[in-house]
Structure 1
Amino acid sequence: MRDFTVPAEAGLRDAGLGAGTTIALPSGRIAYAERGAGPPVVFVHGLLVNANLWRNVVPTVADAGFRCIAPDWPLGAHQVPMPAEADLTPYGVADLIAEFLDELDLTDVTVVANDTGGALTQILMANHPQRLGRVVLTPCDAFEAFFPEPYTPLPKLVRLPGASWLASRLLRLPVVRRRPWAFGWLAKHGIPGEILDSYLSPIHDSREIRRDARRFIAGVDKKYTLGAAESLTGFRKPVLLVRAADDRIFPAQLFERLSAILPDARLITVADCWSFVPEDQPGELARLIVDFATDRRADVVEEEHGC
C-alpha cells in the first residue's frame, strides 16, 4: 500500500530524484522517489548512503523515457526505521527488494546497483530473477569481497557496545569522513557536504536507524556473495558491468570474474572515477544505462515482430 504523503524528512532528498512517497511492504515501510514514465529502472545504493547517490543520474535516464525509482533501502542512511523483527541480513534485504518490485507490480525491470547494493542485487538475481529484465552493476562487493578492504572489520566492530553510537558522532567530523575507511576512497572528485549530511544525519539522529544499520552490518558475510555467485551462471538476462578505471576499493578482477560466470555480460571501464561512479561520472553512467536498456528494448521489439 502506497502512502502519497511525502514524509517531513523528505527535505533531505534531492529534488532531481522526483516526487517522494512511502510504501508498506510485508517487511516494513520503504521511502522512495520516482521520476519519469516508461519502462522501470530501479536503483539500489549501498551502505550508509541513500537515494541521493543517484541524484545526477536519474534526471537524464528519466528524460530518455524511463520510469526511475530510487528507494532509500534500510542500510543506515534511510529515514523510516524498519520493524524490530525485520530480517536485515543480506538475504532479508534482497527479499525486501523483491517485495518492493512485487508490490509495485514492476516487470522487465532494469536494476542499477552500486557498492553494497551490488551484492544485494547479485543475491536478488540468484533468488528472485522473475521480474528482472537486465542489470547494471557499477563497482560493488562480490565473491570474497563482502565487505572489501578497508571495511572488512565492520561486522565485528559494530558488535562492540556503543560502537555504532560513537561512529555516528565521529562521522560528523570532516576529517573522519575523509578517511579511507569512511568516504575518503569512494569518490575521486568528492561528495558535497550537504549530500554527506543527508547520508549521515539518520544514524546520528535516530537510535532505530542505528539499530537497523548495526543489524545489517553485523550480518554481512562473504557466504552470501559466494552463494549467489554459484547461481549466477544460470542468470541469462543481460548484465552490464561498469568498472571504475581508478577504483581504490574494488579490485578489477572482481568484474572480470563476474563477466566470466554471467552468460550475457558486457564489461565496460569508465575513466576518471573511483567506486562511486554515480558521483564521479554521473553523465557517462546515465548514458550507459540508457543505451543498455534501449538496446535491450529494441531486441524485445524485434523478437515480438519476428524480425
Structure 2
Amino acid sequence: MRTLPTVNKVLRTPPERFAGLNDFPYEPHYTEVGGLRIAHVDAGPRDAPLVLLMHGEPTWSYLYRKMIPVLVNAGYRVIAPDLVGFGRSDKPARKADYSYNNHVQWMCAWMEALDLRGMTLFCQDWGSLIGLRMVAEAPQRFDRVALANGGLPTGTEPVPRAFRLWRAFARYSPWFPIGRIVKTGCALGLSPQAMAAYDAPFPTRRHRIAARLFPGFVPTSPKDPERANNERAWEVLKHWDKPFLTLFSNRDPVTRGGHKIFHRLVPGAKGQAHSVTRGAGHFLQEDKGTEVALALVAFMRTGP
C-alpha cells in the first residue's frame, strides 16, 4: 500500500472560474487520493487505446485542447490530469505540503486508483519530471513514451541560463501573472482568452503556491534530495526497450537539445521517427498542437 503525505488544509478553485473556457468543453472527472481531489479530462471511447497527457508548470490540462480532438478523432481514449496544485485539482494551502516526491506519489496513487494500463505517455516540462518517474515505478502499465521539451534531471547536468532566470523570477518576483508567463513560452503568442484560461485556476496568491514552488524543485545540484530517485528512474529507462519517441521544439531555450541523452541511453529510442518541431517554443502544444498530435498518432500506429 502506497504511503501518501497528509494534507490538512486544501484550497479548491471555484468551479465558476472555469465557465465558458475557449475551445475546452471537457467536464472534469475527480478521483480522491490521500484526501486530495485530482481532476482529469477523459475523452474518447473507453475501450480505445489509452493516451496519457501530462502537463507541466504553470499550465494545466487546458494546454492539450488542440491535441485532444486530433487524438480522439484518430480513435484513441485520452486522459489528461491536472497535477495537484494546478487546474481543477485541489491545492494544498501550505508550502510544506509540496515537494517533487509528494507529487510523484500523488500521481502514482491516482494512476493506481484508476488502474490505468496499456498507456502511451506524452509528457512535457514537469509532466516529464513526474511522468517518467511514474513510468519507472510501474513500467508494466505503459506501452510507449513520447517526450517533448522535458527531461529527468539528476542535478549533475549544466543548468541553462534561461532556466536560472525563470527560477529566480518564480522565487522573488512580486508579480506572477500565469497567463502572461505561459505566453512568453509560446513562439506564436497567445490569445487573451487563452491567457485568461491559464489564469483561471489561480484566483488568489495562495492558489499559486505550486506554480511558484515548482521551478525550485527541479534538481540542479548533485546534493538535491531527489537525485537518487531520479537516478533509479534512469536505470529503468536505460533498460526500456519499448518504443520511446522525442518530439522537442527548436525554440525552447530551456530544453533545446535535451533529447540527445534519451537517444543515447534509452534502448527503445533507437530507430524511432524522432522529430524537432520547427517554429514552436517551450509550450509546443500551444504553438503546434495539431502537428504534435499527428506525430504522436503516427508513432502509436507503428511498431508493437
TM-score category (smaller protein): 0.7 to 0.9
Which residue of 104, 111, 118 corresponds with 2:128?
A: 118
Distance 1:33 1:248 in 2: 30
Question: 1:107 and 1:79, CA in 2 relative to 1: closer, same or farther beyond 3 A?
Answer: closer
- Aligned residue in 1 for 2:279: 272
2:265 is the counterpart of 1:247:
no
Amino acid of the residue matched to residue 163 of structure 2?
Y
In structure 2, the gaps of 5 or more residues are: 1-13
In the TM superposition, what is the alpha-carbon distance from 1:31 to its structure 2 partner? 1.5
SS in 2 for 1:42: strand
Measured in 2, the distance between the counterparts of 1:274 and 1:199 equals 17
* Two-structure CA RMSD over aligned residues (Å): 3.0
Q: 2:92 aligns with which of 82, 86, 91?
A: 82
Shift of 1:49: 0.7
Question: In the alignment, is the contact (CA less than 8 A) between 2:183 and 2:195 conserved in 1?
Answer: no
> How many residues of Structure 1 are paired with residues of Structure 2 in the alignment?
277
**Which residue is equivalent to 1:234?**
239
Contact 1:242 1:270 in 2 (8 A): yes
User: Where does residue 294 of structure 2 map in the other structure?
Assistant: 287
Aligned 8 A contact 2:248 2:276 in 1: yes
- Are residue 196 (structure 1) and residue 195 (structure 2) matched? yes
Q: Does 1:151 align with 2:163?
A: yes
Checking the alignment, whether the CA contact within 8 Å between 2:124 and 2:149 is kept in structure 1 is yes
- In the other structure, the counterpart of 2:147 is 137
How far does residue 159 in structure 1 lie from its aligned partner after superposition? 5.6
Distance 1:77 1:147, change over 3 A: farther
- 1:257 aligns to what? 261
User: Any unmatched runs of 5+ in structure 1?
Assistant: 1-5, 300-307
Aligned mate of 1:109, from 119, 137, 145: 119
The percent of aligned pairs where both chains have the same amino acid is 22
Q: 1:149 to 1:78 in 2, by over 3 A?
A: farther
Read off the aligned partner of 2:285 and give its amino acid letter: P
Q: How does 1:55-94 map to 2 (within 5 A)?
A: 55-74=65-84, 76-78=86-88, 80-82=90-92, 84=94, 88-94=98-104
Amino acid at match of 2:289: P
* Partner secondary structure for residue 123 of structure 1: helix
Tell me the residue number matched to 2:18: 10
Question: 2: distance between equivalents of 1:39 and 1:86?
Answer: 38
Query: Hey, what's the Cα distance between the residues in 2 that align with 1:150 and 1:19?
Result: 35
Q: 1:210 to 1:146 in 2, by over 3 A?
A: farther
Query: Could you give the per-residue CA deviations for residues 31-85 of structure 1, whole angstroms, max 9, x where no partner exists?
Result: 2222111111111111111111110100010111111111221354555323659
TM-score between the two structures when normalised by the length of structure 1: 0.78
Give the distance between the partners of 2:147 and 2:92, measured in 1 at CA. 26
CA contact (8 A) 1:45 1:116 kept: yes
